[in-house]
Amino acid sequence: MTNNTYSDFRLYKRLLLQARPYRLHIAGIMVLNLVLIPLTLLTPLPLKIAVDSAIGSQPLPRFLDIITPDVFSRSPTSVLLLAICLLVIITLLLYLRGFGSSLLETYTGEKLVLSFRAELFRYVQRLSLSYHDKTGTSDSTYRIQYDAPSIQWVAVQGIIPFITSLFSLVGMIYVTALIDLQLATVALAVSPVLFLITQVFRHRIRREWSSIKKVETRVLSVVQEVMSALRIVKAFGQEDREEDRFLRHSHDSVKGQMRIAFIRGEFDVLIGLTIALGTAAALFIGVRHVQAGVLTLGNLLMVMAYLAQLYGPLQTISRKVGDLQASLASAERAFRLLDETQDVVEKNNARTLSRAAGGIAFKDMSFAYPDRPPVLRNISYDVSPGTRVGIVGATGAGKTTLISLLTRFYDPTEGSIQLDGTDLRDYKLKDLRAQFAIVLQEPVLFSTTIAENIAYGRPDAGPEDIVEAAKLAGAHDFITALPDGYETQVGERGMTLSGGERQRIALARAFLKDAPILILDEPTSSVDIKTEAVIIEALERLMHERTTFIISHRLSTLANCDVLLLIEDGCLAAVYSDVATALKEFAAFDNEGRITLLETTDAPACDN
């Protein structure tokens, strides 16, 4: 399991390491944000010049007097014109900086999110099926789609404004202190109070956001489940029930958002009140200094403008710490996904494999899902290359699990499985899985064209190869009868096609892959008798000179097997080499619905 400790510092560090490839872009954003500081400091200057030098008789600020031509200081009108020109120039520069910063922030932020999502998506595909069985697909979907943008919120919209605000704060304090040190000191007295308030509320906000993310994941899970099983929902008339389930989880999310809003409201009120008290104290002292002749009215206005801008960064820093808690909660969830341990790992020195002969050996192999009793126990059997192996047994006996172990969707908890005399765990995963072609009971098609679905296992296949595979699978005729032929879009999960059509496309995919080992998991169970005959004919061609494992409850599908394995209660209960005789016996069942065993078998009885 992953480490439970995810401190703010650890999350910031990991997010910044994640953003490292875009460090130059982030540096550019930082520079543009730092340019804002001198422009912000210059913003009150035109007002001071207008009040003190155009309306009053004070000289221009010294640095401005040095760089400004004499024509601008000859009369009050020329000084006013100077103030207006400065106002226009500063405003224009502010907007140009904002435009450039917005473009760079958008580009960098989107690239960061895309890169982070791609890494999460790549990793989640490599996690074992047991992880997905346990957490569900909606959890991973939410983390990839909605938690990944946390890197943009933190690296671009969080840390950069935070650092810029710190620089702005230092600049404002320096300038204010030059004008009136006492005012600057009074204004800064609120900083420890703001820090204390922020620390108190930060943990509360983080906990609430973590809870909301979990609730929103459950909401997404409901939507995903219902939409993927919409035919069942409609068939049983359960639309209202599912809507109630959706609303129940959604209301939990609303309650969480309201709690966040209430906490944020408290936080903002305390921040605003603290700053207002600081501003009031500074105004009181400033007015007394004007009355005493220590400050000019223009300097007081300038100081108050600076104080407003000084409190802006302080307020930004305090609020950013609160705002970032939602992003940190998302970042924590994303990194927890990346920190999940892979159950099926590839060895560093794994062997390459081009094309296997197809010999399979189960060596005293057992398997159990985490925290559950064994599903398979002490399976031992050797399969020669090119052998057609039928696997039979009652539902839940462990047949599909046995097949899943062949492709290393899971690893045995005891013993081993060998391919051509080598443990499956010693091969490179990609090379190992390239040796298998799989046809499932419910064929899996993707929302793309028929041609792309057939070529899924061999993307570089040419049109001629795709057509040939479709012909071998008995699919060419119905495909060419469609308006768009091989370019027909099959829709989500191929639902625009019939079950038999989807199954034949899945067979064509297996033909095109041309793998040495074939796995057929109930390939004819969901089709009618006529379609079954077509598929069995195609299967005969597909199984030729290939090691084949067939799981089926239809005796006709098992008729051409060389051997039958009976799995019962997770054990290899019997091995039948006389398939024809065995199939006749399998036509009868006992009172509990289990297949009747032959008295003479080639395997020992299951040792419970």
Between 545 and 352, the more confident residue is 352
Listed in order, the ranges of the chain carrying CATH 1.20.1560.10 are 8-338
Give the distance between the most distant pair of CA atoms in the chain. 120
**Domain spanning 442-514: which CATH class is it, in words?**
alpha beta
| pTM for this predicted structure | 0.73
Q: Mind listing the pLDDT tens digit for each residue in 170-202?
A: 776 777 777 767 777 776 777 788 778 877 887
Any residues with CB less than 8 A from the CB of 532 and at least 6 apart, and which?
524, 554, 556, 557
Between 546 and 308, the more confident residue is 546
Question: Using 50, 70 and 90 to split pLDDT, how confident is the model at 313?
Answer: low
In CATH terms, 359-435+517-524+546-608 corresponds, of 3.30.43.10, 3.30.450.80, 3.40.50.300, 3.40.50.261, to 3.40.50.300
**Residue-level pLDDT at 306:** 67
Q: Are 388 and 561 in contact, with CB atoms under 8 Å apart? A: yes
Running DSSP on this structure, what letter comes out for residue 473?
Answer: T
What CATH number labels 8-338? Answer: 1.20.1560.10
H helices of 229-296, in order, are 230-235, 239-291
Q: How far apart are CA 463 and CA 486, in angstroms?
A: 9
Closest CA to 60 of 38, 51, 293: 51
Least confident of 54-68, 94-108, 453-467, 488-502: 54-68
| N-term to C-term CA, the chain | 32
- State the pairing for strand pair 547-551/388-392: parallel
Dihedral sign of CA atoms 344, 349, 353, 358 in order: negative
Closest CA to 542 of 474, 487, 596: 474
**Residue-level pLDDT at 378:** 92
On the question of pLDDT at 36 being above 60, the answer is yes
- State the pairing for strand pair 414-419/422-423: antiparallel
**Residue-level pLDDT at 209:** 86
Listed in order, the ranges of the chain carrying CATH 3.40.50.300 are 359-435+517-524+546-608, 442-514
Running DSSP on this structure, what letter comes out for residue 75?
Answer: S
Beta bridge pairs of residue 416: 363
Among left, alpha and beta (phi > 0; psi -120 to 50; other), residue 56 is beta
